[in-house]
């Protein structure tokens, strides 16, 4: 069963069908003993989702390093017993493990990305998995995002990953430009801009610094604030996505009162 | 027989009369493991028990729009009618899941083994700490799903971010003044490094106070926040996803095991308040014993309208 549809007024993207059922069934019992397995504790599959108020400015991977507003994407980890994800009852469909949790998040303004539909530029899914075996013998799969690649495991150290931030940023930009994620609300951007503007003001109050350090910090804070003010706001090139933020409608003018 | 010649040396006698090594006279040392107990510290609140309810979901309802949430209307005239007003209601849910842990050892290990901690009886005693670790992982995963966020993706946490975090709570209507943070230890390192460059903290007494921001299961209170650190804090998109919340924002529910019928009740441990039951059984045919621990509990975040909550996002270095 796909993710439940977005309530009226929701975005097209959040109503996208997504199905982790195959992944769930693979983790619900002892996994096949595949070798070689990664020396890491198995974890759970995840969706990526976007809260409509979560936008951030990034430069890595952007054309000419131009600061650009990008949507924040976080994981919805399908972990039973956590945030309404459930242990499956006998005979229950795998999607029952998470559909209630997804429904709740969608109601609160989350947009879900379907691993089958919203793929990377090279056609691969955003989530991947590898056979895993913990040092204590627990076996299963380790789920990770397509932008992370494992580093060499050093003796006595835990497994670590390198994260390809430029590629991650380019994909997030693509999601907006292709209409999967709606462009940000000007109000959301203004709140973040205001926060950075206040930081610049706070920095100007640091009068106990010597002049040279004071000038350096004030210039840096002002530059950061200006970056947020001037960052590129991506636009959808397909007009497919629409914001799930609701508008109070037309603001009445004094003339309306007089007309009554 | 070994012939020992004079002068008799340790090198000659050790082979028959000595040891390659002896064990130190102390208890077995435990390898380092995080021991932060969110339940024992009261950082998550128990919201219910699904036992005998016919459900695996606890619903916690809420009400608003009355009392302090609504002022009386000021009437325009002496006979103006009062407009009826209503109230708001809502609910949060916590879903209980099943968890398991099992270990076994041989009769030979129980007979000849030297350390209790490495036998089934000793390992069984460690089930409750494993339960606590599982709970902590769930709380960390639940917190990563909080909607609002402070901090910049791909950037280190700064003192300015810390001020934004405090402002988030103080500028939330109804905030009672108590907030808890659970962050990855690296996020505290980032904060400390940022504070180092903060001119207002360049005084010995303040610097000493800041030493309280140290690892070890818990961090000191600072700027009105009760700070804690855990390696269970999750990462997403190259960023740590720590979080801060007012007490009550994260709750847990349990399925008490007191009704569970087991084969050997006399040797079974029921810890109903944790939804935990630990059974031990043996198989003489292959001379092994094993224990199976089952636990039913769940964790969930409540609506921000009840308890303020915000994610703490910074670069996963």
Over residues A70-127, the pLDDT tens digits come to 999 999 999 999 999 998 888 888 889 999 899 989 988 899 999 888 999 888 999 9
Please, are residues A126 and A120 in contact by the beta-carbon 8 Å criterion? yes
Q: What is the pLDDT of residues B22-77, one digit of tens each?
A: 888 777 788 888 888 888 878 898 999 999 999 999 999 999 999 999 999 999 99
Residues 6+ apart with CB under 8 A from B233: B140, B143, B144, B182, B183, B184, B187, B240, B241, B242, B243
Query: And the tokens for B284?
Result: 């003489």
If you measure CA to CA, which chain A residue comes closest to B164? A195
Question: What is the torsional sign of CA B156, B160, B165, B166?
Answer: positive
Residue A83 to residue B141, Cβ atoms within 8 A: yes
Q: Which positions in chain B touch A74 (Cβ < 8 Å)?
A: 144-145, 236-237, 241, 311
pLDDT (0 to 100) of residue A24? 53
- Provide the terminal-to-terminal Cα distance of chain B, rounded to the nearest Å: 63
* Cβ-based contacts of B234 with chain A (< 8 Å): 75, 77
Residues near A86 by Cβ (< 8 Å), separated by ≥ 6?
Answer: A80, A96, A97, A98, A100, B56, B95, B97
Whether chain B has a CB inside 8 Å of the CB on A138: the answer is no
A211-236 burial, b for 16+ CB within 10 Å, e for fewer?
Answer: eeebeebbeebbebbeebeebeebeb
Q: Does A220 touch chain B (CB under 8 A)?
A: no
Is the pLDDT confidence value at A53 over 60?
Answer: yes
A34 in contact with B, Cβ within 8 Å: no
pLDDT of residue B194: 86
- Confidence tier at A246 by pLDDT (50, 70, 90): low
Q: Does A7 touch chain B (CB under 8 A)?
A: no
Residue of B nearest to A188 (CA): B148
pLDDT of amino acid A29: 42
Task: Write b or e for each residue in A82-96: b if 16 or more Cβ atoms lie within 10 A of its Cβ, otherwise e.
Answer: bbbbbbbeeeeebbb
Chain B residues touching A75 at Cβ < 8 A: 144, 234, 236
Pick the residue of A81, A109, A142, A211 with the most B CBs within 10 A to test the interface with B by mutation. A81
CB contact under 8 A, A76 and B145: yes
Whether residue B142 has pLDDT greater than 50: yes
The fraction of chain B above a pLDDT of 90, given in percent, is 73
- Whether residues B141 and A84 touch (CB distance < 8 A) is answered with no
Q: How far apart are CA A127 and CA B152, in angstroms?
A: 23
Average pLDDT over residues B13-23: 90
Among candidates A14, A2, A90, A100, which has minimal Cα distance to A51? A14
Answer whether A166 touches B (CB < 8 Å).
no
CB–CB of A208 and B200 under 8 A? yes
Q: Give the pLDDT band (50/70/90) at residue A170.
A: very high
Distance CA A248, CA B283 (A): 70
- Can you give the pLDDT at residue B43? 84
Record: contact B234-A77, CB cut-off 8 A? yes
Measured over the CA atoms of residue B220, residue B224, residue B228 and residue B234, the dihedral's sign is negative
Beta strands in A43-196 (DSSP E): 46-51, 55-58, 68-71, 74-77, 110-113, 127-133, 139-145, 148-150, 161-163
Query: Chain A within 8 Å of B211 (Cβ-Cβ)?
Result: no
- Cβ-defined contact of A83 to B300 (cutoff 8 Å): yes
Q: What does the pLDDT look like over B296-306, one tens digit per residue? A: 999 999 999 99
- What percent of chain B is modeled with pLDDT above 70? 95
pLDDT the model gives residue B155: 93
* More confident position, B223 or A22: B223
Q: Is A247 exposed, middle or buried (0-12, 13-18, 19+ CB in 10 A)?
A: exposed
Question: Which range has the top average pLDDT, A59-68, A242-251, B16-25?
Answer: A59-68
| A contact residues 173-212, partner B, Cβ 8 Å cutoff | 195, 199, 202, 206, 208-209
Cβ–Cβ below 8 Å for A81 and B99 = yes
Q: How many CB atoms lie within 10 A of CB A1?
A: 11
Q: What's the average model confidence in pLDDT over B6-27?
A: 88
Contacts of A83 in chain B (CB under 8 A): 141-142, 145, 299-301
Token pair of A92 as six digits: 């229950």
Tell if the CB–CB gap between B147 and A165 is shorter than 8 Å. no
What are the tokens at B166?
Answer: 């405090």
What's the rounded mean pLDDT across residues A222-240? 87
> Mean pLDDT, to the nearest integer, of B199-213?
68
pLDDT at A245: 52
Whether A140 contacts A34, CB under 8 Å: no
| Gyration radius from chain A CA atoms | 23
| B153 and A CB contact within 8 Å | yes
Interface of A with B in 73-92 (CB under 8 A): 73-77, 79-87
Q: Count chain A–chain B contacts defined by CB atoms under 8 A.
A: 100
Cα–Cα distance for residue pair B191/B141, rounded to 1 Å: 22
Q: What percent of chain A has pLDDT over 90?
A: 51
Confidence class of residue B317 from pLDDT cuts 50, 70 and 90?
Answer: confident
In chain A, residues with a C-beta closer than 8 Å to the C-beta of B298 are 80-82
Instruction: Give the span between the Cα atoms of B187 and B106, in whole angstroms.
Output: 44
The 10s digit of each residue's pLDDT in B115-135 is 999 999 999 999 999 999 999
B148 touches chain A (CB under 8 A): yes
Alpha carbons B87 and B64: distance in angstroms, whole number: 6
Query: A139 forms bridges with which residues in the sheet?
Result: A133
Residue with tokens 């024992």: B40
Contact assignment for A199 to B160 by CB distance below 8 Å: yes
Q: Measuring CA to CA, which residue among A67, A66, A69 is closest to residue A56? A: A69
With cut-offs at 50, 70 and 90, classify the pLDDT of residue A69: very high
**A256: pLDDT strictly greater than 60:** no
Q: Per-residue confidence at A239, pLDDT binned at 50, 70, 90?
A: low
Are residues A100 and B95, on separate chains, in Cβ contact within 8 Å?
yes
Q: What angle do CA B135, B141, B147 make, to 5 degrees?
A: 135
Q: What is the DSSP letter of A251?
A: P
Chain A residues inside the 8 Å CB shell of B152: 56-57
């Amino acid at each position: 069963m796909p993710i439940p549809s977005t309530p009226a007024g929701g975005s097209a993207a959040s109503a996208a069908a997504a199905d982790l059922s195959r992944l769930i069934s693979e983790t619900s019992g002892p996994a096949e003993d595949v070798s070689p397995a990664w020396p890491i504790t198995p974890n759970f599959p995840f969706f990526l989702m976007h809260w409509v108020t979560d936008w951030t400015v990034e430069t890595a991977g952007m054309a000419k390093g131009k600061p650009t507003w990008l949507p924040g994407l976080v994981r919805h980890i399908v972990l039973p017993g956590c945030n309404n994800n459930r242990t499956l009852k006998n005979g229950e469909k795998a999607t029952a493990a998470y559909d209630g949790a997804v429904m709740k998040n969608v109601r609160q303004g989350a947009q879900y990305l379907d691993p089958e539909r919203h793929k990377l530029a090279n056609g691969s899914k955003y989530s991947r998995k590898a056979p895993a075996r913990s040092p204590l013998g627990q076996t299963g799969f380790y789920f990770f995002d397509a932008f992370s690649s494992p580093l060499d495991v050093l003796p006595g150290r835990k497994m670590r990953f390198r994260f390809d931030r430029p590629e991650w940023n380019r994909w997030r930009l693509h999601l907006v430009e292709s209409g999967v994620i709606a462009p940000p609300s000007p109000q959301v951007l203004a709140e973040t801009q205001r926060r950075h503007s206040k930081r610049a003001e706070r920095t100007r109050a640091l009068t106990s610094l010597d002049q040279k350090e004071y000038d350096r910090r004030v210039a840096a804070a002002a530059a950061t604030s200006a970056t947020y003010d001037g960052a590129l706001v991506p636009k959808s090139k397909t007009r497919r996505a629409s914001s799930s933020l609701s508008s109070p409608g037309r603001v009445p003018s004094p003339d309306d009162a007089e007309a009554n | 027989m070994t012939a020992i010649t004079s002068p008799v040396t340790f090198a000659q006698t050790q082979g028959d009369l000595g040891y390659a090594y002896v064990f130190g006279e102390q208890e077995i040392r435990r390898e380092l493991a995080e021991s932060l107990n969110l339940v024992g510290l009261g950082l998550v609140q128990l919201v219910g028990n699904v036992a005998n309810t016919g459900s695996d979901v606890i619903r916690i309802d809420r009400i608003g729009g009355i009392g302090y949430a609504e002022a009386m209307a000021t009437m325009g005239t002496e006979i103006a009618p009062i407009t009826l007003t209503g109230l708001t209601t809502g609910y949060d849910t916590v879903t209980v899941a099943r968890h398991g842990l099992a270990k076994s050892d041989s009769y030979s290990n129980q007979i000849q083994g030297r350390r209790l901690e490495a036998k089934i009886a000793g390992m069984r005693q460690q089930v409750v700490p494993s339960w606590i670790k599982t709970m902590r992982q769930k709380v960390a995963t639940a917190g990563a799903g909080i909607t609002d966020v402070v901090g910049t993706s791909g950037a280190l946490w700064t003192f300015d971010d810390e001020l934004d975090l405090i402002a988030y709570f103080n500028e939330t209507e109804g905030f009672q003044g108590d907030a808890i943070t659970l962050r990855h230890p690296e996020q505290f390192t980032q904060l400390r490094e940022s504070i180092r460059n903060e001119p207002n903290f360049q005084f010995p007494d303040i610097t000493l106070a800041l030493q309280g921001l140290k690892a070890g299961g818990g961090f000191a209170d600072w700027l009105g926040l009760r700070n804690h650190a855990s390696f269970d804090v999750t990462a997403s998109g190259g960023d740590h996803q720590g979080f801060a919340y007012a007490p009550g924002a994260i709750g847990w529910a349990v399925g008490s095991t007191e009704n569970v019928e087991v084969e050997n009740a006399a040797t079974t441990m029921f810890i109903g308040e944790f939804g935990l039951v630990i059974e031990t059984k043996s198989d003489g045919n292959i001379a092994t014993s094993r224990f199976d621990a089952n636990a039913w509990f769940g964790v969930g975040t409540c609506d921000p309208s009840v308890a303020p909550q915000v994610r703490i996002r910074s670069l996963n270095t």
